[in-house]
Amino acid sequence: MHQTRLLTTSDVTAIAKRVGLDALMDAMIDRLSRKFSEYQAEQYLIPVRSGLHYHAPHDGLIEWMPALENQRSAFVKAVSYHPENPDRYGVPSVSSTGALYDIHTGRLAALIDSTFLTALRTGAASAVASRILAKPDSATVGIIGAGAQAVTQLHALLRCFPVESVLFYDIDERAVKSFSSRISAFLPDGVRVAESTVNDVVRYADILCTCTSLAAGEKPLFEDMLTKPWLHVNAVGADFPGKKELPLSFVRRSLVVPDFREQAEREGECQMLEHAEIGPDIITMLQTNGGNLDGQNRTTIFDSTGYALEDQAAMEMMLELAEAQNIGSMIELVRPPADPINPYDPEISGAEQSRSNRAKYSN
Amino acid sequence: MHQTRLLTTSDVTAIAKRVGLDALMDAMIDRLSRKFSEYQAEQYLIPVRSGLHYHAPHDGLIEWMPALENQRSAFVKAVSYHPENPDRYGVPSVSSTGALYDIHTGRLAALIDSTFLTALRTGAASAVASRILAKPDSATVGIIGAGAQAVTQLHALLRCFPVESVLFYDIDERAVKSFSSRISAFLPDGVRVAESTVNDVVRYADILCTCTSLAAGEKPLFEDMLTKPWLHVNAVGADFPGKKELPLSFVRRSLVVPDFREQAEREGECQMLEHAEIGPDIITMLQTNGGNLDGQNRTTIFDSTGYALEDQAAMEMMLELAEAQNIGSMIELVRPPADPINPYDPEISGAEQSRSNRAKYSN
């Protein structure tokens, strides 16, 4: 009863391989959609994340994202963000572990590599938002920032829209070069993929995903311009105070739907807006059937800062799959002592401590 | 380079057994004393802890305590507190894991069962405070609340003072009955241990440790009364808003030294005081040689709420011992992908996804 279930990268990879990428993304989209639709505020306690932020030796951020579901689960995802990682160390900028606690005793019930799951749920969340906010027959996906997040953004959208072409832009030549091969595992036949300029990506997109690592205080990714009248943007990059990807006038004239309003006002595109200028959050949109958006021909923005509720859904899904497939291992990370009110295990205390040999007190 | 060092309860127990309880406690006291003496505020970022607090199915609290040491380490201790655990489930009320992150990449470098370490460092912190605040020839230790924390409180004090007698009180008959056997591993010959009343414990103590699980809003453990003129109290129990162990008038007339002022004002005995009534914190006391307390004949209180700086010191010590003794294991909890900007490992993507077989998008 006191063991901790461990799902390492290898375990998560094995599960994903068995399920298949498309089926896994579909399941994640369905689960998130259900989670948002069934969410009741009084059943959850989800504080805005906080973290340790530093600039030396490199820019870095370690955050914890907690989520309590009443009587059911307590969950904390730790996530680190080191934007220089790929260039400096050849490892991803984001790395993450999820910790699930037994709500009865507070013991650590499961520990999961959440790096892959974070990318998966971020893609799925954009798909859920796009299904309710974007033009249903969206055929052109635009991508600014073709790194790790772009892969799952595109994958999720391909599962929900009749995509015919993908236009992408990145300042990093290597990201540009490898993009096609990184999406080849799930790109349907006949979908055209082309590198483009920022302006053309914005101009021609029905759905635009911005998922860059721009730094806090930098100017927006593009100047406001003429777009398709019903352009929908999944703004994924902004997740820190001062970090904003979109131009103010574009944000002002769009319907802005945050994932988690309080957090988006601190860290997302919503930073630019007055409280009253912000639209309903994604949960409200889903629970009110999208507020009758159909045919409104207005630009829309999903302000995706990353929501612990999504992580909880992803972790639950992965744990269920692990159980069904019997993958993962159990470790005895924290073993309760024989006597709950003795921190000194008899095994330690039993160690021969010759009383006469012991040094006396020293003040 | 991407592996995580794992120190389980068994590993920590094995290390403690090899070192011996007395030597381990001495090392912890020395290390904490040094840590406090050398602390420079500009080298650390230690936010006040926060957490998930709930009342169903039982009272529970899961907190995270972060500590950043510039350019050196980022550390987060997760600690759960479920006061009904011993009675309901036969497991300790406190359980804890420490996570150390690589400051260069943000990867999880080590994961440690911190339950034993939390008890050890809490005892050691009281010893460090008592050495500077209590009468140097303190001979009588009083204990109110003879549970898990009392064991390490007493052990630490025995290492630093010429203790002749120990008076203790607990409302729980089982804690009373087992106390002698729980401290037998380290109790020097000739030290008298006796159960007593609350009032006599307070009246005769030179150093008093209060380490109870009293609930928020309950009345203090004792009424203010005549004590030894230089009584020193290590107030360990109060660690949550509303939770206070000591009577207001006693706190008011004592020198109150918090471990971490900002946190103690929220969660400790300092809740009762105005900002200006609170004394210097333990770090300031150590760095100013105790503010010339000698012979001042005033009651003193160490308001110990639990400080992430102490946890960082404990974790560092345990990791050094683990390395020296070659104890612990390495796990590949988070393995970086071959391509840092592809969340889909080639192993997953390679899974045969027959394109023609795949369902089309569904909106």
Rounded mean pLDDT, A101-128: 96
Judged against a pLDDT cut of 90, whether residue B256 lies above it is answered with yes
d(CA A151, CA A143): 10
**Residue B281 per-residue DSSP state:** -
Contact across the interface for B9 and A76, Cβ inside 8 Å = no
Chain A neighbors of B12, CB-CB under 8 A: none
Per-residue pLDDT tens over the stretch A215-254:
888 899 999 999 999 999 999 987 778 888 999 999 999 9
Chain B neighbors of A26, CB-CB under 8 A: 359
Chain A neighbors of B71, CB-CB under 8 A: 56-57
Q: To the nearest whole angstrom, how far is the Cα of B221 from the nearest Cα of chain A?
A: 20
d(CA B161, CA A264): 54
Query: What pLDDT sits at residue A297?
Result: 75
Instruction: Label residue B352 by pLDDT band (50, 70, 90).
Output: very low
d(CA A269, CA B59): 38
Query: What pLDDT sits at residue A350?
Result: 65
Judged against a pLDDT cut of 90, whether residue A319 lies above it is answered with yes
Give chain A as a 3 state SS string: CCCEEEECHHHHHHHHHHHCHHHHHHHHHHHHHHHHHHCCHHHEECCCCEEEEECCCCCEEEEEEEEEECCCEEEEEEEEECCCHHHHHCCCCEEEEEEEECCCCCCEEEEEECHHHHHHHHHHHHHHHHHHHCCCCCCEEEEECCCHHHHHHHHHHHCCCCCCEEEEECCCHHHHHHHHHHHCCCCCCCCEEEECCHHHHHHHCCEEEECCCCCCCCCCCCCCCCCCCCCEEEECCCCCCCCCCCCHHHHHCCEEEECCHHHHHHHCHHHHCCHHHCCCCHHHHHHCHHHHCCCCCCCEEEECCCCHHHHHHHHHHHHHHHHHHCCCEEECCCCCCCCCCCCCCHHHHCCCCCHHHCCCCCC
Helix (H, G, I), strand (E, B) or coil at B357: helix
Chain A to chain B, count of Cβ pairs less than 8 Å apart?
A: 328
Query: What pLDDT sits at residue A107?
Result: 92
Predicted model pTM: 0.90
Of B339, B221, B13, B326, which Cα lies nearest the Cα of A146? Answer: B339
Per-residue pLDDT tens over the stretch B7-60:
999 999 999 999 999 999 999 999 999 999 999 999 999 998 899 999 999 999
For residues B86 and B74, the model is more confident at: B74
Global ipTM = 0.88
Query: What pLDDT sits at residue A8?
Result: 97
Q: Which residue of B has its CA nearest to A146?
A: B341
Q: To the nearest whole angstrom, how far is the Cα of B347 from the nearest Cα of chain A?
A: 7
Rounded mean pLDDT, B196-218: 94
Chain A neighbors of B57, CB-CB under 8 A: 71, 103-104
Residue % of chain B over a pLDDT of 70: 94
Q: To the nearest whole angstrom, how far is the Cα of A248 from the nearest Cα of chain B?
A: 29
The CA-based angle B263-B265-B271, given to 5 degrees, is 135
Judged against a pLDDT cut of 80, whether residue B340 lies above it is answered with yes
Contact across the interface for A89 and B66, Cβ inside 8 Å = no
Instruction: Label residue B297 by pLDDT band (50, 70, 90).
Output: confident
**Residue B194 per-residue DSSP state:** E
Rounded mean pLDDT, B188-199: 97
Judged against a pLDDT cut of 70, whether residue A100 lies above it is answered with yes
Per-residue pLDDT tens over the stretch A3-48:
999 999 999 999 999 999 999 999 999 999 999 999 999 999 999 8
Contact across the interface for A359 and B147, Cβ inside 8 Å = no
- Residue listed under structure tokens 């602390």: B39
Residue type, B316: E
Among residues 170-209 of chain A, which lie with CB inside 8 Å of chain B?
A: 175, 178, 182, 184-186, 188-189
Q: What is the mean pLDDT of chain B?
A: 92
Chain B neighbors of A158, CB-CB under 8 A: 361
Contact across the interface for A103 and B57, Cβ inside 8 Å = yes
Pair of tokens at residue A300: 């829309």
The distance from CA B11 to its chain's CA centroid, rounded to whole angstroms, is 19
Pair of tokens at residue A99: 């910790």
Q: To the nearest whole angstrom, how far is the Cα of A222 from the nearest Cα of chain B?
A: 23
Q: Which candidate from B64, B335, B341 shows the least CB-CB separation from A148?
A: B341
Query: What pLDDT sits at residue A356?
Result: 41
Select the residue from A184, A207, A333 to test the B interface by mutation, using most B Cβ atoms within 10 A. A333
Query: What pLDDT sits at residue A85?
Result: 92
Contact across the interface for B343 and A152, Cβ inside 8 Å = yes
Query: What pLDDT sits at residue B1?
Result: 59
Chain B neighbors of A335, CB-CB under 8 A: 8-10, 113
Judged against a pLDDT cut of 60, whether residue A357 lies above it is answered with no
Q: Does B292 touch chain A (CB under 8 A)?
A: no
Provide the 10 A C-beta neighbour count for residue B42. Answer: 6
